[in-house]
Structure 1
Amino acid sequence: MTNDYPPIKDFIESSFLDWPGHTCAVIFLPYCNLRCPYCHNHQLVLKPDTMETLFLETILERLTALRHKIDGICITGGEPTIHRGLPAMLKIFHEAGFGIKLDTNGTQPDILQYLITEGLVDCVAMDVKAPLDDTIYARCAGVFVPMSIIKRSIEVLAAADVPTIFRCTVTPTLLAESDVYLLAKGLNDLRTEGLVGQDTAMSLTLQNFDPANPMEPALKDVKPFTEKNLSRMQEQINRILG
């Protein structure tokens, strides 16, 4: 097989969490164009060369053996969409009969549009890092990200014929509770602006920050939101997005 396929750096045979309603294998691709301080996969981002590269042929053999246990594959990272060979890899998995769920940070809207148009993904989860504000977003993403790009990805996914999950990791020192509501309002405003259809159903799922292994060591001392507070914020977001 060609070396143009993205390198695979880790593989989980079975997960009940990564694709809601599915039992899926998880494939981890290296590198990312963001530097989120709370990232727990930062070895994949910063030091992927210290990790073993798994052969695609070997992964396909293992997936074939798991066919009776799983009904799909979650492709995550890192950021999968920065790899030019991603479409070819997804095509191989699809031709082998596996559904594909893609995790993305939404910084490559044209790639997302291509993958959806070509029928190479069956579900997409986009991590929206913060309210759609340059300053706050840069704080949470670790680098500057033009909001036009993020809005375009949201537009692409909201109009797609595949299930879409928008989610946000909430880290207390990076996002205040008011920021979380500002994000939900910003998503809702995309309907008003005409970037998303007025009748388009939109939701945002909050994920709690995990202090165990963040990219930024100082965050190890930060206490996550309590489950009670997280649930309360989720309820308010659901009301905002209607």
Structure 2
Amino acid sequence: MYCYNPDIVLGKGRQDFKSVLDFLKTRTGLLDGVVLSGGECTIHKSIIPFIEKIKALGFLVKIDTNGSKPKVLKQLIEKNLMDYVALDFKSLPTSFKSITQSNVFAEFEESLKLLMNSSIPFEVRTTLHSALISESRFLKMIQYLENKKYEGNYYVQYFMNNVPTIGQLGHSDKLLNTENFSTSKIKVIFRE
């Protein structure tokens, strides 16, 4: 609902892989890395050979993912094709479908487990919209991560009001920035 790339998700503004690779060839030595996001970049059937070509050019690769394709993520880990991953934690199972309009929470869990068992540096992150994730729900999300034995940074970004998104969401308030939500194992960091 609150995806900030509605044009990409809805199939507008496409770039083909060849054009992107041609562009990157002109940037070798000038850029350090490439971020693949979306929509969801791991749903593309040719994502693995595409990343192999990017890595062959000498670029670092960061993946932004909702974790919906753990089999692809597993292959990327096994082939050492990612240098960093940002895993979106959209919500708990009880509200996941209503927030994401999808049934991929089990896949998210599998992706989290894969990343936790790998040596790939990664972060877990959540976009907070005050109408979708209350403070009590957010505390339960932190507890969920603790129960899964996640240790590390948990980045939280507030929903950006007045920008195009897929869903028509109302105004979101910044309700949680006055407290320290970190635990002994998880450092909660708010991004502005």
- Bin of the TM-score, shorter chain as denominator length: 0.7 to 0.9
Q: Could you tell me which residue of structure 2 aligns to residue 101 of structure 1?
A: 62
Q: Quote the Cα distance in structure 2 between the aligned partners of 1:92 and 1:143.
A: 31
Structure 1 residue aligned with 2:142: 184
Match of 2:174? 225
Percent of residue pairs identical: 25
Q: Counterpart of 1:230 in 2: which secondary structure? A: coil
Instruction: Go from structure 1 to structure 2 and tell me whether the alpha carbon gap of 1:161 and 1:183 turns closer, same or farther (over 3 Å shift).
Output: same
Which residue identity is paired with 1:111? V
Q: Is the helix fraction higher in 1 or 2? A: 1
Q: Give the CA deviation at 1:203.
A: 2.5
Q: Report the 3-state secondary structure (helix = DSSP H, G, I; strand = E; otherwise coil) of the residue aligned with 1:175.
A: coil
Contact 1:74 1:102 in 2 (8 A): yes
Say what the alpha-carbon RMSD is for the aligned residues: 1.9
Residue among 178, 181, 204 paired with 2:154: 204
Report the Cα offset of residue 103 of structure 1: 0.7
4+ long deviations beyond 6 Å:
none
Give secondary structure in 2 for the equivalent of 1:236.
coil
The alignment of Structure 1 onto Structure 2 pairs a total of residues equal to 186
Please tell me the residue identity of whatever aligns with 1:215: I
- Answer whether contact 1:185 1:241 (CA < 8 A) is retained: no
Deviation at 1:231, TM superposition (A): 5.5
Gaps of 5+ in 2: 188-192
**Hey, what does 1:137 align to over in structure 2?**
96
Q: Which structure 1 residue ranges, 5 or more long, are not aligned?
A: 1-36, 192-199
* TM-score, length of structure 1 as denominator length: 0.71
Which residue number corresponds to residue 67 of structure 1?
Answer: 28
Task: Tell me the CA shift for residue 114 of structure 1.
Answer: 0.8
- The structural deviation recorded for 1:95 is 0.6
After superposition, the Cα gap between the structure-2 partners of 1:120 and 1:173, relative to the gap in structure 1 and judged at 3 Å, is same
TM-score by length of 2: 0.88
